[in-house]
Amino acid sequence: MCSTFIDEAKKALSLAFKEVEEFRRDREFLRLRDACEKGWLAVVLVTDALLTEFGFKKPESYTERRTFLKELEKKFPRAAELDLRDRFGARGYYLHILGYHEGTLSEEEVVEELEKAKKYVEDIEAILKDLTSSPP
């Protein structure tokens, strides 16, 4: 299940960056909103993969994800070192609220946020790969 979440997250990010490229061609601003929502989906998917791999139930809400990430930070110092809970919250605010719902992010801001989402995905993927070689 974990690899499925990671694969889907990467696909969502790829599609998000494609939306930005399409926006650059046709200047349809709804594409930026769609890019933000796909980026947010990637963050949610890898967060769920991480949490379930550490034995948490699959979160059913944004609040559960934040709560579980806080608990994870207490048990797994690397999660705290990487500021996963704060980064999750920031991507939720910028991508989901400002980018998708409000549509107030510029093209440059969307790309910046997608790059941050990509780094978040990569960091969690690295944690999960490390777990398979040496469980917590």
Model pLDDT for residues 65-101, shown as the tens digit of each residue: 999 999 999 999 999 999 999 999 999 999 999 999 9
Q: What pLDDT is recorded for position 134?
A: 66
Q: What is the CATH number of domain 2-133?
A: 1.20.120
Q: Does residue 132 surpass a pLDDT of 90? A: no
The two structure tokens encoding residue 79: 């999660």
Parse the chain into domains and list their residue ranges. 2-133
The structure tokens 């995905």 sit at: 121
Sequence-distant (≥ 6) Cβ neighbours of residue 113 within 8 angstroms: 36, 39, 91, 94, 95, 99, 105
Distance (Å, rounded) from C-alpha 32 to C-alpha 99?
7
When pLDDT is cut at 50, 70 and 90, the band that residue 64 belongs to is: very high
Angle, helices 84-91/30-53, rounded to nearest 10 degrees:
150
The structure tokens 């930005």 sit at: 20
Q: What is the CA radius of gyration of the chain?
A: 15
Q: What pLDDT is recorded for position 108?
A: 98
Closest CA to 113 of 62, 42, 56: 42
Q: What pLDDT is recorded for position 46?
A: 97
- Phi, psi at 115, each rounded to 5°: -65, -40
